[in-house]
Amino acid sequence: MSARIVTLPGDGIGPEIMAVAVAALDRLGDFSYEEHVFGGAAIDAHGTALTEETLEACRGADAVLLAAVGGPKWDTTDPDAPRPEQGLLGLRKGMGLYANLRPVRPLPALYDASPLREERIRDTNLLVVRELTGGIYFGDRARRDGRAHDTCEYSTAEIERIAHVAFAAAESKVTSVDKANVLETSRLWRETVSRLHSEHYPHVELEHMLVDNAAMQLVAAPRHFDVIVTENMFGDILSDEAAMLTGSIGMLPSASLGDPGAPGLFEPVHGSAPDIAGTGKANPMAMLLSAAMMLRHGLGRQEEAAALESAVERALRDGLRTADLGGDASTERAGRTILDNL
Ligand code: NAD
Ligand code: IPM
Ligand code: MN
């Protein structure tokens, strides 16, 4: 039976890059797709960013492929108005996707596209393991009488399950990133990761690093890192920073996973890029590499995943550059070039 994929094109450049990913998947196998409106598009159609029907479809799929949500049309500071991003958070929570994997592997063909010098980034191969369903993103928040608060909370169990993912993924070392010099959640984080390490993973090197230092080390000495494990908001910020090692945020894919057997969600790290939506300039490669992560982690199709990744790499070696990488290839031309390589 063909794998059932729910596609969520979303907003902005989302539909433009999703079209390229679906075309690539069609070359690679016999997949069935069920498309749903999501984010701002779902607010316009249904008044909410994530309908019950869409969430149920995602839970019942073999995998979910998402492009991006959000845009100025739905930007508001009104706490009672619906936001596209609520759909994304609701989907991650509703599907139990607590582990977000963001691999950062600068390709030799793109060393010259990074603002960092080649000798800095050469041979960097790191993985950000971001906790995705806890922390300040999901704690109590409110605004009252000219004051507002957001609460950051973590339980031992939430920290343990994400630390397991990080240790299992490590080849040599786990760097646990926190702010234990200030935050109580970070002190529980550090204590829990240390205990798990000594009980189950003594053969893996563990180091703790404060998040401000980690932000600096990521650009000063990126080769230092193997697996970085961190809480929700630190992981969000550090992964956008790490994207520049690869040349552009338009290159970074991600996989969001829950317990074994449950469907995963695969999406680029970047957003809906409203500033270039509709201009045909979007780089579709983070989307294609997310589809490759879906093939590998979500559908068990290692060969097709590798084929898609090498089609992207070969196009870059042959000189393909979208605008974010300093070239002038359109989304369409980039897609066609990569598809021709498949
Ligand atoms: P963004 O990632 O959308 O864009 C940041 C910059 O990177 C922009 O200049 C954009 O043009 C560029 N960029 C991003 N992706 C690109 C691509 N594939 N090709 C070429 N250039 C690309 O971040 P932002 O501007 O802060 O956010 C815009 C909207 O996207 C907001 O509403 C935000 O909430 C949302 N967002 C959604 C997701 C998601 O759906 N997973 C992720 C991040 C941001
Ligand atoms: C991401 C995005 C989201 C996040 C937003 C859109 C809610 O920035 O996936 O990195 O902060 O998790
Ligand atoms: Mn982000």
User: What's the CA gap between 27 and 34, in Å, rounded?
Assistant: 18
| Per-residue pLDDT at 329 exceeds 80 | yes
pLDDT at 79: 87
pLDDT band at 114 (very low <50, low <70, confident <90, very high): very high
pLDDT band at 263 (very low <50, low <70, confident <90, very high): very high
pTM: 0.98
Place of tokens 């993912």: 165
Is any atom of ligand 2 closer than 6 Å to the C-beta of 206?
no
Is-contact 54 42, C-beta < 8 A?
yes
38, 69, 83, 85: which to mutate for ligand 2, most atoms within 8 A of CB? 85
Is any atom of ligand 2 closer than 6 Å to the C-beta of 35?
no
Is any atom of ligand 2 closer than 6 Å to the C-beta of 41?
no
Ligand closest to the CA atom of residue 241 = 3
The DSSP line for 163-174 is HHHHHHH-SSEE
User: What's the CA gap between 75 and 127, in Å, rounded?
Assistant: 31
Q: What confidence tens digit (pLDDT) does each residue in 23-62 have?
A: 999 999 999 999 999 999 999 999 999 999 999 999 999 9
- If asked whether residues 235 and 256 sit together in one domain, one would say no
Does residue 195 lie within any of the structural domains? yes
Does residue 221 lie within any of the structural domains? yes
- If asked whether residues 224 and 258 sit together in one domain, one would say no
pLDDT at 232: 98
User: What's the CA gap between 197 and 164, in Å, rounded?
Assistant: 9
Last residue of some domain: 246, 272, 303?
246
Ligand 2 centroid to Cα of residue 235, in Å, is: 10
Does residue 127 lie within any of the structural domains? yes
Does residue 119 lie within any of the structural domains? yes
- If asked whether residues 182 and 284 sit together in one domain, one would say no
Q: Which atom of ligand 1 is nearest to the CA of 10?
A: 40
User: What's the CA gap between 165 and 90, in Å, rounded?
Assistant: 22
pLDDT band at 274 (very low <50, low <70, confident <90, very high): very high
- If asked whether residues 16 and 131 sit together in one domain, one would say no
Q: Which domain holds residue 219?
A: 115-246
Question: Has 236 been annotated as catalytic?
Answer: yes
- If asked whether residues 276 and 228 sit together in one domain, one would say no
Question: Has 212 been annotated as catalytic?
Answer: yes
Does residue 28 lie within any of the structural domains? yes
- If asked whether residues 157 and 220 sit together in one domain, one would say yes
- If asked whether residues 262 and 225 sit together in one domain, one would say no
User: What's the CA gap between 226 and 124, in Å, rounded?
Assistant: 9
Ligand 1 centroid to Cα of residue 14, in Å, is: 10
Does residue 180 lie within any of the structural domains? yes
Average pLDDT, the chain: 97
- If asked whether residues 63 and 181 sit together in one domain, one would say no
Give 309's contacts (C-beta < 8 A, 6+ positions apart): 289, 292
Q: Which atom of ligand 2 is nearest to the CA of 132?
A: 12
Is any atom of ligand 1 closer than 6 Å to the C-beta of 69?
yes
- If asked whether residues 127 and 210 sit together in one domain, one would say yes
Question: Has 201 been annotated as catalytic?
Answer: no
Does residue 321 lie within any of the structural domains? yes
- If asked whether residues 72 and 159 sit together in one domain, one would say no
Could you tell me the CA-to-CA distances from 157 to 98, 143, 261 in Å, in that order?
A: 12, 29, 20
- If asked whether residues 88 and 159 sit together in one domain, one would say no
User: What's the CA gap between 65 and 266, in Å, rounded?
Assistant: 5
Last residue of some domain: 246, 265, 283?
246
- If asked whether residues 287 and 230 sit together in one domain, one would say no
Pairs from 179-183 (Cβ < 8 Å, separation ≥ 24): 179/210, 179/211, 179/212, 179/234, 180/208, 180/210, 181/210, 183/152
| Per-residue pLDDT at 1 exceeds 90 | no
Q: What confidence tens digit (pLDDT) does each residue in 213-257 have?
A: 999 999 999 999 999 999 999 999 999 999 999 999 999 999 999
User: What's the CA gap between 214 and 247, in Å, rounded?
Assistant: 19
Is any atom of ligand 1 closer than 6 Å to the C-beta of 41?
no
- Per DSSP (E only), the strands in the chain are 4-10, 32-35, 63-68, 99-104, 126-131, 141-144, 147-150, 173-178, 205-210, 227-230, 255-257, 264-266
| Nearest partner of 65 among 130, 106, 17, 113, judged by Cα | 17
Does residue 75 lie within any of the structural domains? yes
Last residue of some domain: 223, 246, 269?
246
| Nearest partner of 264 among 275, 256, 274, judged by Cα | 256
Instruction: Provide the CATH number for the domain around residue 208.
Output: 3.40.718.10
Number of structural domains (the chain) is 2
